[in-house]
A and B are shown apart, each in its own frame.
Chain A
Amino acid sequence: MNAALIWEWIIKSVIVLLVMTAGFAYVTWYERKVLARMQARIGPNRAGWAGLLQPIADAVKLIFKEELVPDKADKVIFILAPVITVIPALIITAVVPWGPTVHLFGRDIALSVANINLGALYILTVTSISVYGITLAGWSSNNKYATLGGLRATAQMISYELALGMAMLGPILLAGSMSLTDIVNAQQHLWYIVLQPVGALIYMVATIAEINRAPFDMPEAEQELTAGYHVEYSGMKFALFFMAEYIKMIAISMIGASLFLGGFQGPFLSTFPWLGPIYLFIKVVVLLFGLIWIRATFPRIRYDRLMSFGWKILFPLSVVNLMVTAVVVRLVGG
């Protein structure tokens, strides 16, 4: 390991962090614009051209807001909870490759922060940490609505982790590797959504539940729990929860694109390797559009229905999908 390699890692990490935080800001803009168009509205159009400066205005507003801590809250955990939520969201995409190896400054640079051979496992591990933040936020606020929201988050997590893991095993079996770079490279000619349509569907449903997006946004449930786990949060701490949610939206879109839509793969990639990030970006934008579309269309599913849906439909379905995939891979590929 030499100094250049360390610098390469640091620079790539910083780029990923910056892209994710800027991405968060512009996903909020994107969501507001798309939702507005779907709902016969205009959306943000005051700050900057087409409202492009709106996220910055929002950030400035939130930074200058008073940070309230409830009287009887557990102060340490109350302050720690948003941090616990946002850090996994920021580091989750470290294993997702955003392009092939490029030749730059006389070095071959792989366009991913870490190509570890347990990439898929890393994703599952890191995502399950972030639910602690939500649960602890709900518990430490000393608010009944927040507690209910936190409890819902826990129940939701338990119901969906397994199905999510099983759905991710399909592409892993097909590629024969847990590294996301290998999985993407194996999809050079055929995207795995063709071979794993059920798996892709389960992945999408389970991840929407994982990141608490509509229609699975029970921990927030503004209609019944007013805002659920973050009801007592204000200012930047509140913004961190939102940041986590939107960064996770980008993250699951990136991971989903890598697992099922060929990641950075696309035509003319071998001649122009810099097309990789562009292809990935397009796929992420399309998936994000899908997430927003779902939010505009569906009512929220009920808490107990979600649990029974997770355990009685998604989980058995994912097991069957996994078994069929395994048998077919063994017979055809073996």
Chain B
Amino acid sequence: MKRSNRKNRAVSAEPGESMREIQEFTLDELRHLFSPRAQTGETMVLNMGPQHPSTHGVLRLIVELDGETVVNCVPDIGFLHTGIEKNMEYKTYLKAEVMTDRMDYLYSIGNNLVYCLAIEKLTGLKPPPRADAIRVILTELSRLQSHLIWIGTSSLDLAAMSTFLYAMREREMILDIFELVSGQRMMTTYIRPGGLWRDVPAEFEAAVRHVVDVLPKRIDEYEALLTKNLLFIDRTKGIGKIDTATCLAWNVSGPTLRATGLAQDQRKSNPYSGYGQYDFDIPTQKEGDVYARYLVRVAEMRESVKIISQALDKLPYGPVIDNNRKFVPPPRSEIGVSMESLIHHFKLWTEGFTPPAGAVYSSIESPRGELGVFLESDGGPKPFRVHYRTPSIPLLQVIPILAKGHFVADLVGIIGSIDIILGDADR
């Protein structure tokens, strides 16, 4: 099964330099990844992606098929590599934050939040209660819109196409709220070290209230389409099973872990931004299959609505950002009357702030699992090292375990059910 001898040629960046050849790999070099049957041509090696409608971005899967049964499957990532983590080391803390939005593009507010939590840990900044409450509302809205995308795309993978469009309709309301508060729909960079960029506008409460009122009915609609649908149950029950021990061994967290029966959630075990004061449950299921993950996520959406409505009810008034002028830029009104403020403003927007040297780790619960950031500072204005612990990488690693022995039609269902974001994995 040798591939053709024709070599792909890549034109080098500089004219005049000799053309570099890209070496094609043969099946022999990948021998260790496949069963011996692939060598004889008894099983078929199928290349799924990176351009494939159901690989959720640019995931490439090299699948070994026996008929339509998946014998082995090798995820290949790196097609969306952005170098964001490395780039952040060359920018001031505040400028680096803008890039964090682009990693997990469905939970960009959460990426901001975890980065800011790390900086706050390092510097001792304390966000005021109003900032915390708005952070909770926005991250939960963000989780809702991520789950809406998930419910749409994962059911679209099973060819239930209408749910996708309904979910997009509801996501629009949430994106409108982001636009309202920050002027941006996805890449908001609204959460800043020490609090928020600025206070929410007056229309914010009514807009969020509308979402809280409308969304439970819409979730009922999705459930009417899917939860009791015999064909949907048939496609999801018993598919892509995983148990708690395997999940923990592979560092899998989030809804995939909770669907195996372990109620692990950063919002409960390590409450940040005042999550401790809200009353909500951690939905779990026992089976650990695609259907269990579906049920967990749908229940999580209802819990999110619950949290948002509680946070909205007791939304405190007051400032939305810490008062420490060494880290937080002064408001415009102060600059005109205070020399100190003018100096702070100048320093913060040229050199940037300088947290004390040290290393911190902070983590939050993303819609996909534990999202953590490890931040090391050498006392300078730029982070020495930023590392994101993203939930998508462990999820990608368990795809072969989940998919083995299932049909290729279930493989797309499984990929949909674990809800990976490739921007989250390649950073």
Chain A interface residues toward B at CB < 8 A: 38-41, 144-145, 148, 214-215, 217-218, 221-226, 295-305
- 1/0 per residue, CB under 8 A from A, across B406-424: the answer is 0111111000000000000
Q: Which of A148, A215, A222 contacts B408 (CB 8 A)?
A: A148
Take A40-B169, A296-B161, A296-B162 as given contacts and tell me if A303 and B68 are in contact as well, using a CB distance cutoff of 8 Å: yes
* A301 and B44 form a contact (CB under 8 A): no
CB-CB under 8 A for A302 and B407, given A40-B169, A215-B231, A223-B53:
yes
Whether, in the assembled complex, B46 has its beta carbon less than 8 Å from a beta carbon of chain A, the answer is yes
What is the interface size of chain B, counting residues whose CB is below 8 A from a CB of the partner?
30
Of all chain A residues, the one with the shortest Cβ separation from B156 is A223
CB distance from B148 to the nearest CB of A (A): 14
A299 to chain B, nearest CB (A): 4
Per-position contact with A for B52-67: 1 when CB-CB < 8 Å, else 0?
A: 1110000000000000
Q: Which A residues lie within 8 Å of B407 (CB)?
A: 302-304
Assess the A148–B160 pair: CB atoms within 8 A: no
The answer to whether A299 touches B169 (Cβ under 8 A) is no
Question: At the interface, yes or no: B189 with Cβ under 8 Å from chain A?
Answer: no
Query: How near does chain B come to A32, taking the closest CB pair, in angstroms?
Result: 13
Q: Is the CB of A226 within 8 A of B52?
A: yes
Distance (whole angstroms) from the CB of B174 to the closest CB of chain A: 16
Contact A214 B162 (CB under 8 A): no
Given contacts A223-B156, A302-B235, A304-B407, contact A40 B166 (CB under 8 A): yes
Partner among B44, B160, B165 whose Cβ is within 8 Å of the Cβ of A40: B165
Closest 6 CB pairs of A and B: A300-B159, A299-B160, A299-B158, A39-B165, A223-B54, A224-B412
Could you list 20 A-B pairs, sorted by A, with CB under 8 Å? A38-B162, A39-B165, A39-B166, A40-B166, A217-B159, A222-B53, A222-B159, A223-B157, A224-B54, A224-B408, A224-B412, A225-B408, A226-B52, A296-B162, A297-B160, A297-B162, A298-B231, A300-B159, A300-B231, A303-B409
Cα-based distance from A38 to B53 in the complex (angstroms): 23
How far, in Å, is A20 (CB) from chain B's closest CB?
27
Taking the complex as formed, is B234 at the interface, i.e. its CB lies under 8 A from any CB of chain A? yes
What CA separation (Å) do A296 and B409 show in the bound complex? 19
A224 CA to B68 CA, complexed, in Å: 11
Closest to A148 in B: B68
Say whether B409 contacts A300, CB under 8 Å.
Answer: yes
Which B residues are in CB contact (< 8 Å) with A305?
234
Whether A299 and B165, one on each chain, are in contact in the complex, defined by CB atoms closer than 8 angstroms, is: no
Given contacts A148-B68, A224-B54, contact A39 B161 (CB under 8 A): yes
Number of A-B contacts (CB under 8 A): 75
Question: Closest B-chain residue to A40, C-beta based?
Answer: B169
The answer to whether the Cβ of B155 comes within 8 Å of any Cβ in the partner chain is yes
Q: How many Å lie between the Cα of A226 and that of B51 in the bound state?
A: 10
Q: Interface code B68-79, partner A: CB below 8 Å = 1, 0 otherwise?
A: 100000000000
Residues of A near B52 (CB, < 8 A) are: 226
B: which residues have CB within 8 A of A? Answer: 44, 46, 52-54, 68, 155-162, 165-166, 169, 225-226, 229, 231-232, 234-235, 407-412
Cα distance A40–B169 in the bound complex, in angstroms: 8
Return chain A residues, CB-CB under 8 Å to B229: 298-299
* Residues of chain A contacted by B412 (CB below 8 angstroms): 223-224
Min CB distance A216 to B, Å, is 10
Least CB distance from A23 to B in Å reads 24
For residue A38, which residues in chain B have a CB less than 8 angstroms away from its CB?
Answer: 162
In the assembled complex, the Cα of A145 lies from the Cα of B226 at a distance in Å of 28
User: Which A residues lie within 8 Å of B156 (CB)?
Assistant: 223
A222 to B54, CA, bound (A): 9
- If A38-B162, A41-B165, A223-B158 touch, whether A302 touches B409 (CB-CB below 8 Å) is yes
Q: A40-B166, A226-B53 known; A302 and B408 CB under 8 Å?
A: no
Q: Are A39 and B158 in contact (CB under 8 A)?
A: no
- CB distance A224 to B409 under 8 Å? yes
Given contacts A224-B409, A304-B407, contact A298 B160 (CB under 8 A): yes
Specify which of A40, A223, A304 is in contact with B159 (CB 8 Å cutoff).
A223
State A224–B412 Cα separation when bound (angstroms).
6
A223 partner residues in chain B, CB cutoff 8 A: 53-54, 156-159, 412
Bound-complex Cα distance A254 to B413 (A): 35
Residues of B within 8 A of A226 (CB): 52-53
**Cβ–Cβ < 8 Å partners of B169 in chain A:** 40
Quick one: closest A residue to B236, CB to CB? Answer: A299
Is B232 within 8 A of A299, CB to CB?
yes
Residue of A nearest to B54 (CB): A223
Most buried by A among B44, B68, B160, B411: B68
